[in-house]
Chain A
């Protein structure tokens, strides 16, 4: 239920909505339209790509897990997924302009 925590999207910020008011999680695919998302890889996740920072065009309605497939990260790889400063799950739908940070499962203090 990680995706239950709502997050502001890049587009909602631009429109000046309040922090938690944007919850339009798209679920159905719309043909041909693409989203542009930024992806940053950290620590052990860097082994899956030649670059640490990626800009990826992906079908509208895609979720985090679809993006992982595009990059070539196995679905069962334990990850800490941050979308626009919020911890999210792999089912979280993506939106135009999102920034994703992918970390291994880490902790510390």
Chain B
């Protein structure tokens, strides 16, 4: 087998047992790796209705067929589980070096089942899997755990928040890289699993080296030629978006009550670059190098989403405060979008203008699960419901919305509503066509033509999450190039359409999982605020009838019925057995 290792590690924590399971080529061809592989394991192994924080949940880590090769941006891996925040199936992927090292250690993935009696960590070293005592690491935050375990290999771990069951706790790998959003760190903590350490020196075998070399050069050339990947992201990171979204009136401000922030320049990428000397900290095999930290410190430069939530949405205009909040989140291992949005929700509920000190105090209380943090650590949906004001939680399916006001980007509005993991911009990044004009500019203020586009981009992104490569490369490199290099690596012929079909298969399995968890078409919606209020631009509230018509059209394009349930014909076409 080429590209893949053809096996995964299974760790039964309750029984303190480990096992190596082989995967056949047909299975891997259907699901690729990363998100696809993890979703299939969770779909097959997690019983309906279980508590995500119980020992019955599983946690899958999966790399893809390209992970660990020299293919640009292929340093990623995915984690998949049932989310304690949303109750849906949930995948999250991260860069750094952990994913490639998992492949070098001899595995395509790792599935963790059950619950350990005492805190443990899992070590995988050149094919050997061990469960080790982690009592000395319990109660420590992510940087310290990384530091202590990095002598044994690449580390993915949780901080205090994951131990304490904060519903949006992250898994952090290689210090600052994050499997964020849905609380998979809390799933890890509920299993008494503090960390995974991987190390190995296995080389990834490539089927056709000559072809691989050609496609590798094609992809590299495209990344270097594109100003997006070679300049925009590389020089300013994602923070460069703050001024743009502010001028486009889609920058969430004051918990999405407004769409423009008077102090945007103060929290912008331009400001960060003018104040701090920046050092790039690229992921494995990545020429884009968007991740950055302040030179001679270990302080991470926050991403756009983080700035939009702690900054404009919480109405904080001090970039240093936002950087501190970001740092605290990474230390405790909590999601910056949900943390920021839940605090913005709290501020609206209390009618409070947050000070810099108060913001940082609330982040810390969430991480420690103390004081008001005991309520906020449930996420904004549960917090707002408990306070009898559910409409001020800016979430879809329980996941807080990221930094783009959907009233000004209607394709993204549909993308938010139909995302299988809830309010997320990375299932179909419609900002590409609607704002950047990539790959082609479309009118951002109409639903017309969006339903078809959204589902195609969702399918493509799902495939990309399964290879696993970085979505940022998609601004420059198309599905044809990915299919080509995948074919050269694996020796199996893939074309653009086969990648899209694999993406569609995985998307439908996620939908089936969610339907058995009592999600329905009623959950494919947006917070009421976006239908009722205009965010400060006259007439820009979303018209409900237009939204519903677009949603029905989306179901039709997907081959689902009017209730949003995949038809038997569609499942048969995708070779999905119920």
A-side residues, CB < 8 A to B, are 2, 5, 19, 40, 42-44, 46, 78, 80, 82, 85, 87, 101, 103-109
Contact = CB atoms under 8 A, between A and B. Distances in A.
Given A109-B425, A109-B426, A109-B471, A104 B231 contact: yes
B437 interface: yes
Given A43-B236, A46-B270, A105 B231 contact: yes
Given A43-B236, A43-B270, A108-B233, A101 B445 contact: no
B475 interface: yes
Interface stretch (B121-129, B188-196, B243-251, B489-497): B243-251
A82 B248 contact: yes
Q: How large is the interface on B (under 10, 10 to 19, 20 to 34, 35 or more residues)?
A: 35 or more
Majority secondary structure of chain B interface residues (helix, strand, loop or mixed): helix
A106 B228 contact: yes
B504 interface: no
Given A46-B270, A78-B227, A107-B432, A2 B240 contact: no
B429 interface: yes
A101 B244 CA distance: 8
Contacts of A104: 227, 231-232, 235, 240
Contacts of A101: 243-244, 247
Given A87-B436, A87-B437, A108-B290, 13 more contacts: A19-B445, A42-B270, A44-B231, A82-B247, A101-B244, A103-B244, A106-B240, A106-B244, A107-B228, A108-B232, A108-B472, A109-B238, A109-B425
A80 B471 contact: no
B435 A87 contact: yes
Between B232, B236, B304, B475, the greatest number of chain A beta carbons within 10 A of the residue's beta carbon is seen for B232
A22 to B, nearest CB: 14
Contacts of A19: 445, 539
A82 B270 contact: no
Contacts of A42: 240, 243-244, 270
A107 B247 contact: no
Nearest to B290: A108
B240 A108 contact: yes
Contacts of A103: 240, 243-244
A105 B247 CA distance: 15
A108 B435 contact: no
B55 interface: no
Given A42-B243, A80-B436, A87-B437, A108 B237 contact: yes
A8 to B, nearest CB: 10
Nearest to A106: B232
Contacts of A105: 226-228, 231-232, 436
B120 interface: no
A30 B431 CA distance: 38
Given A80-B436, A82-B244, A107 B475 contact: yes
Contacts of A2: 437, 441
B443 interface: yes
B222 to A, nearest CB: 14
A14 B241 CA distance: 29
A43 B242 CA distance: 11
A106 B270 contact: no
B438 interface: yes
A107 B437 contact: no
B436 A109 contact: no
Contacts of A107: 228, 232-233, 431-432, 436, 438, 472, 475
Interface in B204-250: 226-228, 231-233, 235-238, 240-241, 243-244, 247-249
B400 interface: no
A109 B304 contact: yes
B244 A109 contact: no
14 contacts: A40-B247, A44-B235, A82-B247, A103-B240, A104-B235, A105-B232, A106-B233, A106-B244, A107-B232, A107-B431, A108-B303, A109-B304, A109-B429, A109-B472
